[in-house]
Amino acid sequence: MKRLEFRRFPLRDRAYAVFALCSLGLIVPPLTEAQQSDPDPERFEQQISRFEAWDTKNSHPTKATLFVGSSSIVMWNSAVRFPSVPLINRGFGGSHVSDVNHYVEETVLKYLPATIIFYAGDNDLGAGKSVTQVFEDYQEFVETVSEELPESEIVFVAVKPSIRRWSLWPQMKELNEQVQSFSGLHSNLQYADIATPMLDEDGKPMPELFVQDGLHMTSAGYDIWTDVLGKLLHSIH
């Protein structure tokens, strides 16, 4: 396996090149799924400001393990669950992968983490985005981080099966499989399968892992996540 290497060309230049090749009939533009508009990331400005205010008054560990993503990250009592790990939690509830990309400097890059624990995609699919769109957004995150922090490890926590969004499990499973395959190609990418142990013998989400809304997790759900991530972090470090 190899670490990701990217050669960037300005977006405008790439667009002109593709247009020219299409005009000459040298390439045929692929048929793509309709892209759903991203929600306005500025709805999180207050939360990001709170992170920044905290940072002005407090120090943070170097070479930390940084948790970022949606509410499953926010509600994970990660400092208690991983007491021996230098840790930063920068989850913001309700976020999509596109939101993490928008705030990647403020929530990830500025801290120079050694390891990044990433959980998002759940809300994206719940809002009607396609698997392709979410996967491409995650690839954008990986590209940005790999360029700026080439030595950092990125761990994608599988999109979880849940009672409330069980009808979306086929798309979630497809996204997980795509990310798992993608991660297997590069040594700085990891995939944490928290999904399989959350299913019962009939392949359905175990009810005891969820609070009343059927989406967010109980302590028992986080026990599974902590066990899977603990073993993975031990293997990385």
Q: Which pLDDT does position 2 carry in this prediction?
A: 56
The predicted model gives 96-103 an average pLDDT of: 98
pTM metric for this prediction? 0.86
Above 70 in pLDDT, residue 72? yes
Question: What residues contact 192, with CB distance under 8 A and at least 6 apart?
Answer: 117, 155, 156, 157, 158, 228, 229, 232
Exposed, middle or buried, 185 (CB in 10 Å: 0-12/13-18/19+)? exposed
Runs of H (alpha helix) within the chain: 11-23, 45-57, 71-74, 78-81, 97-102, 104-107, 122-126, 131-148, 169-183, 219-236
Q: Which two tokens stand for residue 134?
A: 């979410």
Do 114 and 152 meet the contact criterion of CB atoms below 8 Å apart? yes
128-174: pLDDT as tens digits: 999 999 999 999 999 999 999 999 999 999 999 999 999 999 999 99
State the chain's mean pLDDT as an integer: 89
Assigned fold of 18-236: Rossmann fold (3.40.50)
Q: Looking at the predicted structure, is the pLDDT value of residue 184 above 80?
A: yes
Q: Quick one: DSSP state of residue 108?
A: T
The residues that bridge with 68 in the sheet, in sequence order, are 90, 118
pLDDT single digits (tens) 191-201: 999 999 999 99
Residue 116's pLDDT is 98
- Model confidence pLDDT, tens digit, residues 3-49: 555 444 343 343 434 444 444 444 444 445 568 899 999 999 999 99
- Looking at residues 180-203, what average pLDDT do you find? 97
Query: Would you state the pLDDT for residue 3?
Result: 58
Given this model, what pLDDT does residue 6 score? 47
